[in-house]
Structure 1
Amino acid sequence: MSLVVLVAAFVQGSVGVGFGLIVAPVIGLLAPQWLPVTVLILMLPLNAYVCWREHPELDRGGATWVTAGRVIGAFGGVWIITRISAHDLSLLIGVATILAALATIYAPAFTPGRKAFMTAGLITGVTETATGIGGPPLALVYQYHPGPALRSTIALCFAVGEVISLGLLSASGRVTAHLALQAITLIPAMVVGVMASRFARHRLDDRVMRSCVLGFALISGVLILIQTLFSGSM
């Protein structure tokens, strides 16, 4: 798990997205009871650092509208996970992972406006709070922005949203000391990964990295669906 977190933090720090798409499916396969709390706790310091590192390129206007939608979506995510079983949550994670990857691959180019930013924030709020996966909607609206603007803005939106999501999940009883401890044990791996990204973010081919992340997400999502459906039939 530490190796997966290290790789995911490296990808997120280099490209701007990918942590949830890489980590959440693996946790869904190995320890689904950790979701989404462990992923959200790990992503908070990760995104705070990335935002600080590249804050001069921050798109403040877009971040404001994304965050507005993100706040509303977080309530929807909490509503979902407090009303479905662990089996159904695993199905949701598998489906969300596959759909998010496919949407990122096939979405056409466009110039985002206020409505697009708010919609992306809304969807991110629901999916990240419920499953730990929230990057694809933001990647879609920022996919044609310069790398530093994409990384800093998405990181800020994530960090603010994660505080909100964790607060709501804590109020609903989903954040426990055990889950927090599991996340803390993985923080050293996350730190190594994101620090390594400092030396790679200007050298890596974003298209290759993006393709690897999406391919991994698709395979992981399919494996989660197979595992969940098989276990449900036993």
Structure 2
Amino acid sequence: MSVEVLALVAAVVAVAAFVQGSSGLGFALIVAPVVGIVAPGTLPVFLLAVMIPLNLYVAWRERAALDLRGAGWITVARLTATPAGLVLLMAVPDRHLGLLVGAATVLAAAVSLLAPSFTPGRAAYLTAGAVTGLTETATGVGGPPLALVYQHRPPAELRATVAVCFLAGEVASLAALFAFGQARPDQVAPALMAVPAVVLGVWLSRLTHRHLDAARMRITVLVFALVSGGVLMLGL
């Protein structure tokens, strides 16, 4: 990444870290389409790597609200589906990865906006984990299925459980990508440089996460994801 591109990405990462630290979702939906436009060669490794410190902090901060049962079922399905996501990534030519990221972003946002409320059970946990394992490994975008499962639960429970599920999945996906030659160290370097932006965003979120209108922010994030994902698709 050039200095200018890195500065842009850092600003977007800071905003996205604030949003996810406050509401429990939105980081990948904000960052993925932007990075897909300015630095597509770093995906999905950049997203997976930069989200690890974010989710470590959120999981620790909200640990008292964790839904251990739901997180367990989701993580089992998430890890089981990781190889399928790796196969999908290997099957997609590099020149089409941006299109895949844009399509995944738009689809995820649309489903999140339109899905009705429901009470999650084991089947919902397993389905959300499997879909997340497929899409996050292939594109870096995996949050909306988890957000759908927890969208009507207390905000702290959503933040804690989604962060824990993400954390386990991101480590597994990165390990698989490196093991099968689908990730390179130079794709991780920009993520390391973006860590200060993550720290800034989550530090600001700790000041507001108990008071922010999470529902309004959720709609704003999803609309942004629809627009930016559509731009990424049309640009290719």
Q: Same fold (TM over 0.5)?
A: yes
User: Which residue in the other structure is 2:110 paired with?
Assistant: 102
User: Which residue in the other structure is 2:20 paired with?
Assistant: 12
Q: Work out which of the residue numbers 159, 163, 167 in structure 2 matches 1:155.
A: 163
Question: Cα distance, 1:32 vs. partner?
Answer: 0.5
Distance 1:89 1:72 in 2: 23
User: Which residue in the other structure is 2:4 paired with?
Assistant: none
Q: Work out which of the residue numbers 181, 201, 213 in structure 2 matches 1:205.
A: 213
Distance 2:221 2:125 in 1: 23
Distance 1:38 1:92 in 2: 16
TM-score (norm 2): 0.95
Distance 1:93 1:175 in 2: 16
Q: Work out which of the residue numbers 76, 79, 83 in structure 1 matches 2:87.
A: 79
Distance 2:29 2:84 in 1: 20
Q: Work out which of the residue numbers 172, 176, 182 in structure 1 matches 2:184.
A: 176
SS in structure 1 of the partner of residue 211 of structure 2: coil
Distance 2:41 2:20 in 1: 23
Q: Work out which of the residue numbers 192, 196, 209 in structure 2 matches 1:188.
A: 196
Distance 1:201 1:36 in 2: 27
Question: Cα distance, 1:207 vs. partner?
Answer: 1.6
SS in structure 1 of the partner of residue 229 of structure 2: helix
Distance 1:168 1:138 in 2: 21
Question: Cα distance, 1:87 vs. partner?
Answer: 2.4
SS in structure 1 of the partner of residue 208 of structure 2: coil
Which blocks of at least 5 consecutive residues in structure 2 are unaligned?
1-8
User: Which residue in the other structure is 1:28 paired with?
Assistant: 36
Percent sequence identity is 50
The amino acid of 2:119's aligned partner reads T
Are 2:159 and 1:142 equivalent residues in the alignment? Answer: no
Question: Cα distance, 1:172 vs. partner?
Answer: 1.2
TM-score (norm 1): 0.96
Q: How many residues align?
A: 228
The amino acid of 1:154's aligned partner reads V
Distance 1:211 1:144 in 2: 14
Runs of 4+ in 1 over 2 A off after TM superposition: none
Distance 1:90 1:73 in 2: 22
Distance 2:146 2:206 in 1: 22
Are 2:54 and 1:54 equivalent residues in the alignment? Answer: no
The amino acid of 2:151's aligned partner reads Q
Are 2:114 and 1:114 equivalent residues in the alignment? Answer: no
The amino acid of 2:234's aligned partner reads I
* RMSD (Å) for aligned C-alpha atoms: 0.8
Question: Cα distance, 1:52 vs. partner?
Answer: 0.5
The amino acid of 2:93's aligned partner reads S
Give deviations 1:87-106, integer Å, cap 9, x for gaps: 22221111111110010001
Distance 1:60 1:91 in 2: 35
Distance 2:83 2:185 in 1: 22
Which blocks of at least 5 consecutive residues in structure 1 are unaligned?
229-234
